[in-house]
Structure 1
Amino acid sequence: MRKERAFTLVEILVVVVLLGILAVVVLPLVAGSSISAKESALALDLQMLRRYVLVYKTQHLEVGPGYPDGDTTQAPTEPVFIEQTTMSSNPSGQTAAVGTAGYERGPYLMKIPVNPVNNLSTVQLLGDAEAFPANADDSHGWIYKASTSEVRSDSTGTNDNGKPYYDY
């Protein structure tokens, strides 16, 4: 019968050192791809929200989502924006459950997407006279101005090229 030999301490140390070197090389690449994936997701979510806003506006007498019953004399609100996004609506912007007769438009999205950078899905709606903030502050997922149909990310930080997420 042959006697089996165990690993020596030197062999174990060599394996541990090689695993350490591999970790030092691979971990930054994996971490970097995670950041890059968030940036790509942010760009895609913004593109989707911007398209939704334009389609909604085209189908609702050139009035963007957020205005109660499509009335531009009233201030746009987040609850109305969400309803007009996720429910069916009529040309005036009034909402109803999906499948309700006379409310043949929408829904446009199943839900407001989560901003992949700050993990928020809330929407800050700006009034007609309000300007966009100078910078993002991470208090909401998105910032939307109904009167101009502009959508921005409310994410602080920049990508690898120094472009602020706010300017995507």
Structure 2
Amino acid sequence: MCQCEERMQYALMEIAKDRMILIDALEYELMEELRESGDIQEANLKLDKEKQKYDEDYPLKVVSGVIKVNPDAKGNIKQHITENCKNKMYTTYLEDRRFHELGLVDIVFHSEDVEDDISFSALICSDINVESENERAITAFVAYADLSSFENILNRDFVLSIEKQSENTSNITEQNWKEYI
């Protein structure tokens, strides 16, 4: 019997007939809490009011991981991200049980895709640190301004599963960041 204790982070969740979404374990807990709150709309508004807002003075960071695509997403996801999802605001829901915003400045895709996941490196602007020894990836998704964070979870095409952060990037710029990959 295996002594290792590996925790599952992502699963598919049916939210409507013939509609599945990829969901992070913390997001699943959030959905259960919203459902049990009695007033999903009010609880949802409260979460967005408590969100850690983006600040352009946040430091630049080089991160890497895999892109996990929702099963209902259509078209070429790499092309979609390149054309529509760079220089955008992203949201993540973390262990502190709050949403946090970060900026995706640039992204490159690597050829070593694993199963249906797309390997990437990215330049982000964020106050969030990715702890390498942490078993848990940070799940980030595009934040559309006309939707709440909860609605963005339900309507996203993909997530960035951020697994690592490059060290010693104090002199990083938008021009030289790829040297730190």
Work out whether the TM-score is over 0.5.
no
TM-score, structure 2 as length reference: 0.23
Larger RCO of the pair (alpha carbons < 8 Å, separation 6+): 2
The higher radius of gyration belongs to 1
1 or 2, which has the higher helix percentage?
1
